Amino acid sequence: MAKLYFRYGAVGSAKTLNLLAVTHNYQQQKKSVFLMKPKLDDRFGSQDVSSRAGLSKRADMLLSDDTVLDPELLKGKDCILVDEAQFLSKSVIDQFRTIATVQNIPIICYGLRTDFRGTLFEGSKRLFEVSDSLEEIKTTCAFCNRKAIFNLKLIDGKASLTGPTIELGAEEKYLPACSKCYRLQIEQQYVATV
């Protein structure tokens, strides 16, 4: 039986770069890869899966909360790769679980574990519940050399806990942070605004 994988990490941990490397490896072996991403992620182009390192591939399918995956479309695929899986609905993740089990196609999802408040995204939560394999992609804190586990949100360059849960951005808006530095940045900002 094929597995459902969730490879997660903080912002800036090269998740998409890893996904694109896996895509390349499959294609070098003449295997058929199907690339998906959430429709709402249009930071680097509406159809593109792009890493901050400059590599890019065209997505085969854009996913919405109500997407229904057609098993016929996926026949003959050797692997399904999914970028920004944290933004997907429980329904889509459950379909991935079924596809891996019934159609015997491995599905590798990449995404954030939590939002900038430290709360699980819907897609990440469901992946933690139903994945066969959970793999952390590590990166270091932007402020020290410890492992980053938080996504620190910036507004005008200052740490913030306000705003919508889903607000797309890159380094100008989010930084990886360890627990200590995350707390320190939030506390310093809170003190500065009082």
Residues 149, 190, 142, 81, CA torsion sign = positive
Provide the pLDDT for residue 67: 93
Angle at 127 between CA 126 and CA 130, to 5 degrees: 85
Model confidence at 167, pLDDT cuts 50, 70, 90, reads low
Proportion of the chain in helix, strand, coil states, percent, rounded to 5:
30, 25, 45
- Show the domains of the chain with their CATH numbers: 4-136 (3.40.50.300), 150-193 (no CATH)
The model's pTM: 0.89
Q: What is the pLDDT of residues 76-109, one digit of tens each?
A: 999 999 999 999 999 999 999 999 999 999 999 9
46 alpha carbon, distance to own chain's centre: 16
Model confidence at 194, pLDDT cuts 50, 70, 90, reads very low
Query: Among the options 72, 84, 167, 187, which is catalytic?
Result: 84
Residue 84 annotated in active site: yes
